[in-house]
């Protein structure tokens, strides 16, 4: 499903050149739940951004669903992200000026859909994460766990085949973190969604199918 | 997407209110400038109604000691005859002080069918007046020598007053009352409108009364139509002639064309000042819009990154920011149009409704263009934000 070949990412400034990822080769199968671990600054988020087509590798190639995405235009990349990928971030990235329902509808605004369809899909997604009673709330009126559930609802509302989660439990206490993890596991189990998750939490990583460890930009496991 | 943007704007109404007020104020100022400018232009485009080139105005004051009206009449008629006899003089006319472009006004009121109509310019003229100024007669007749009969209650009005009183109907032979409705006055002629207050002012209601012999005491202007070859030497001769004829009188000769140029400045100076103020305000608003949008982009980098992540292309993000600015401008313009439309409805400043309507449309277009121009670059900058970087910063 996802194939990374010899991925290299170099950040360059006028004076410094930093190798963030070095010769990463990775394949993720459809329906797999993969976790990526490693110390801070080892390139986990960079790798996730490259898989999520939010960043381009300096070298190497990436294909998703047999499509060489590095050849895509900005517009096609945006469409591809919209249809195939869902993102969950550590800091939720909810829009504070929008109610929960509007936040969840956000990905659907960038595809052909009617307001009625959007509302229906967003309500269904919120039901899945147990927040159907909070649709009129603003993010500031929710707890951290609830916000992350809204973010999960937003990630799954467009029914993507792949979910990319960047430390989804990082800002939550263990109970909340477990709740979020349970939702992700259910998504993977029940709907066959492929999930790639970056985490610092060994316990969370152990619950996934496969663990990849990075160190200084290189894959060590 | 439009509904989504409306929601965003509505939910951020406090933050957006300042920008809405700023755009609203700019709209009102631009509306004022356009209204003033359009009205001035529309007046400028209208014909002057007279030939003012080669018309000189002799200012004098009556210094003759005689109080006999007939003697005065004979003297001044002889004076005008002598002036007309000069080789470069084509015609001459003694009038009241309110000659064109003189900033001197005499107004009166009339009563017609029970309605009091005030602010009518009242001119005291003789039978030579239309020939001297090449004033066109539209209907009826001008005065002739036979009209110098005491007790004659006749009048010539201009087209503005005719339309005000009778619309498209014929005015000749119609009768109205003077200001206190004690005397009835019959209309014998309708003449073309004269822009007495310069190129940029609309012709006002006017009526031309034939003065009688008692008026020579206070009449103080002679309009002289001269041939194009009348030069300074001739002007000097004319001056000397007047000075010799009217001993101890203050004689001054002015050219109507120079008076018009000077008078036009009365209108142009405020318009220029208003335009400068408006220009500063527009620059201020442009910087304001630019600054707010720039600030928005920096404050909303996380949101922009997120939108890119969930499927927005660079262009979509750019369009979104431009559209948000245009929606804010629309809200301002809706409020502004509500106020602006009161001007034609309430007939404020007595300008034609078409001036206000066109000024309103032009102001709306202007504000949209201004907002569009000011939001394009920030929108482009937003499109260039790298999603991975923006999301990481958050």
CB contact under 8 A, B310 and A110: yes
CB contact under 8 A, B310 and A154: yes
Q: What is the ipTM of this complex?
A: 0.89
Over residues B205-220, the mean pLDDT reads 88
DSSP class of residue B135 equals P
Where does residue B28 rank: exposed (0-12), middle (13-18), buried (19+ CB within 10 A)?
middle
Summarised one tens digit per residue, pLDDT across range B80-122 is 999 999 999 999 999 999 999 988 889 999 988 888 899 999 9
Summarised one tens digit per residue, pLDDT across range A130-163 is 888 888 999 999 988 889 889 989 988 888 999 9
Summarised one tens digit per residue, pLDDT across range A164-179 is 998 888 877 888 888 8
Which residue of chain A comes nearest to B4, CA vs CA? A102
Token pair for B249? 């009188």
* B237/B297 same-domain check: no
Listed in order, strand segments (DSSP E) in B79-195 are 89-95, 107-112, 115-125, 137-140, 154-158, 175-177, 184-191
CB contact under 8 A, A110 and B392: no
Identify the CATH number of the domain defined by range A2-219: 3.40.50.300
Q: What H or E segment, with its residue span, contains residue A59?
A: strand A59-64
Asked if residue A17 has pLDDT above 90, the reply is no
Summarised one tens digit per residue, pLDDT across range B286-321 is 888 788 878 878 888 888 889 998 989 888 999 988
Out of B206, B238, B255, pick the residue that ends a domain: B255
pTM surpassing 0.90? no
How close A86 gets to chain B, by Cα (Å)? 7
Confidence at residue A221, expressed as pLDDT on a 0 to 100 scale: 67
* B241/B302 same-domain check: no
* B186/B169 same-domain check: yes
Which percentage of chain B shows pLDDT scores above 90? Answer: 47
How close A101 gets to chain B, by Cα (Å)? 11
Do B98 and B123 meet the contact criterion of CB atoms below 8 Å apart? Answer: yes
Nearest-5° Cα angle at B346, B341 to B349: 95
| Residue B340 belongs to domain spanning | 2-45+262-393
Out of B213, B236, B255, pick the residue that ends a domain: B255
Q: Does residue B50 lie in a domain region?
A: no
Summarised one tens digit per residue, pLDDT across range B321-374 is 899 889 999 999 999 999 999 999 988 888 889 999 999 999 999 999 999 998
Summarised one tens digit per residue, pLDDT across range B235-256 is 999 999 999 988 888 999 999 9
Averaged pLDDT of chain B: 89
Out of B203, B220, B255, pick the residue that ends a domain: B255
As a whole number of angstroms, the distance between CA B138 and CA B160 comes to 12
* B23/B136 same-domain check: no
Q: Does residue B361 lie in a domain region?
A: yes
Do B208 and B155 meet the contact criterion of CB atoms below 8 Å apart? Answer: yes
Which percentage of chain A shows pLDDT scores above 90? Answer: 22
Q: Does residue B164 lie in a domain region?
A: yes
Q: Is A160 on the interface with B (CB under 8 A)?
A: no
* B129/B242 same-domain check: yes
* B225/B302 same-domain check: no
Chain B residues with a Cβ under 8 Å from any Cβ in chain A: 1, 3-4, 7-8, 11-12, 302-303, 305-316, 386-388, 391-392, 394
* B272/B178 same-domain check: no
Which residues have CB under 8 Å from A79's CB, separation 6+?
A: A110, A111, B311, B313
DSSP string, B219-244: --EEEEEE-TT--HHHHHHHHHHHHH
Which residues have CB under 8 Å from B298's CB, separation 6+?
A: none
CB contact under 8 A, B394 and A93: yes
DSSP class of residue A30 equals T
* B7/B133 same-domain check: no
How close B12 gets to chain A, by Cα (Å)? 7
Summarised one tens digit per residue, pLDDT across range A86-133 is 998 888 889 988 999 999 999 999 988 898 999 999 998 898 888 888
Q: How many CB atoms lie within 10 A of CB B219?
A: 20
- Chain B residue numbers with beta carbons less than 8 Å from the beta carbon of A82 are 310-311
Do B201 and B267 meet the contact criterion of CB atoms below 8 Å apart? Answer: yes
CB contact under 8 A, B394 and A75: no
Summarised one tens digit per residue, pLDDT across range B183-210 is 889 999 999 999 998 998 889 999 999 9
CB contact under 8 A, B316 and A102: no
Do B332 and B340 meet the contact criterion of CB atoms below 8 Å apart? Answer: no
* B37/B112 same-domain check: no
Asked if residue B180 has pLDDT above 80, the reply is no
Q: Does residue B307 lie in a domain region?
A: yes
* B234/B343 same-domain check: no
Confidence at residue B149, expressed as pLDDT on a 0 to 100 scale: 77
* B80/B218 same-domain check: yes
CB contact under 8 A, A93 and B391: yes
Over residues B130-154, the mean pLDDT reads 88
* B292/B389 same-domain check: yes
Q: Count up the domains in chain B and report the number.
A: 2
Asked if residue B394 has pLDDT above 60, the reply is no
Nearest to B79 by CA among B243, B315, B254: B243
Q: What are phi and psi of B251, to 5 degrees?
A: -100, 135
């Amino acid at each position: 499903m996802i194939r990374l070949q010899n991925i290299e990412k170099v950040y360059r400034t006028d004076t410094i050149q930093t190798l963030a990822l070095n010769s990463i080769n990775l394949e993720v199968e459809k329906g797999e739940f993969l976790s990526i671990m490693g110390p801070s600054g080892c390139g986990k988020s960079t790798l996730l951004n490259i898989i999520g087509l939010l960043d381009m590798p300096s070298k190497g190639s990436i294909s998703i669903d047999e499509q060489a995405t590095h050849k895509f235009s900005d517009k096609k990349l945006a469409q591809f992200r919209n249809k195939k990928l869902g993102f969950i971030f550590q800091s939720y990235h909810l829009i504070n000026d929008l109610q929960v329902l509007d936040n969840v509808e956000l990905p659907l605004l960038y595809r052909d859909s009617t307001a009625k369809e959007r509302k229906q899909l967003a309500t269904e997604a919120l039901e899945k994460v147990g927040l159907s009673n909070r649709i009129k709330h603003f993010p500031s009126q929710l707890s951290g766990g609830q916000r992350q559930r809204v973010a999960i609802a937003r990630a799954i509302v467009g029914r993507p085949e792949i979910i990319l989660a960047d430390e989804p439990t990082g800002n939550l206490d263990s109970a909340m973190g477990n709740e979020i993890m349970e939702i992700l596991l259910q998504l993977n189990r029940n709907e066959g969604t492929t999930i790639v998750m970056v985490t610092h939490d060994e316990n969370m990583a152990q619950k996934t199918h496969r663990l990849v460890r990075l160190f200084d930009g290189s894959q060590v496991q | 997407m439009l509904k989504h943007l409306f929601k965003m704007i509505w939910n951020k109404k406090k933050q957006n209110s300042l920008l809405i007020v700023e755009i609203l104020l700019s709209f009102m100022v631009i509306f004022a400038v356009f209204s003033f400018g359009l009205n001035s232009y529309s007046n400028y485009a209208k014909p002057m109604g007279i030939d003012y080139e080669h018309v000189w105005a002799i200012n004098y004051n009556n210094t003759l000691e005689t109080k006999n009206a007939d003697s005065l009449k004979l003297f001044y008629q002889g004076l005008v005859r002598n002036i007309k006899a000069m080789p470069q003089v084509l015609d001459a006319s003694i009038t009241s002080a309110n000659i064109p472009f003189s900033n001197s006004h005499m107004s009166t009121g009339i009563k017609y069918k029970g309605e009091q109509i005030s602010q009518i310019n009242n001119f005291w003229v003789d039978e030579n007046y239309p020939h001297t100024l090449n004033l066109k007669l539209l209907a009826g007749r001008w005065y002739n020598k036979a009209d110098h009969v005491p007790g004659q209650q006749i009048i010539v009005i201009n087209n503005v007053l005719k339309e005000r009183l009778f619309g498209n109907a014929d005015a000749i032979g119609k009768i109205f009352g003077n200001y206190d409705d004690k005397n009835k006055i019959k209309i014998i002629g309708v003449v073309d409108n004269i822009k007495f207050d310069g190129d940029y002012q609309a012709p006002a209601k006017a009526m031309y009364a034939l003065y009688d012999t008692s008026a020579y005491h206070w009449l103080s202007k002679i309009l002289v139509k001269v041939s194009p070859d009348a030069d300074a030497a001739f002007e000097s001769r004319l001056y000397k002639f007047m000075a010799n004829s009217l001993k101890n009188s203050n004689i001054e000769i002015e050219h109507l064309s120079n008076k018009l140029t000077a008078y036009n400045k009365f209108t142009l100076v405020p318009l220029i000042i208003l335009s400068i103020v408006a220009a500063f305000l527009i620059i201020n608003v442009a910087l304001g819009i630019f600054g707010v949008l720039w600030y928005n982009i920096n404050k909303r980098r996380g949101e922009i990154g997120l939108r890119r992540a969930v499927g927005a292309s660079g262009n979509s993000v750019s369009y979104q920011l431009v559209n948000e600015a245009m929606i804010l401008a629309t809200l301002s313009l809706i409020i502004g149009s509500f106020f602006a439309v009161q001007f034609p409805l309430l007939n404020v400043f007595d300008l034609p409704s078409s001036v206000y309507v066109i000024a309103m449309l032009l102001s709306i277009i202007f504000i949209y263009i201004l907002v569009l121009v000011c939001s394009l670059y920030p929108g482009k900058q937003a499109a260039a934000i790298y999603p991975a970087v923006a999301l990481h910063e958050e």
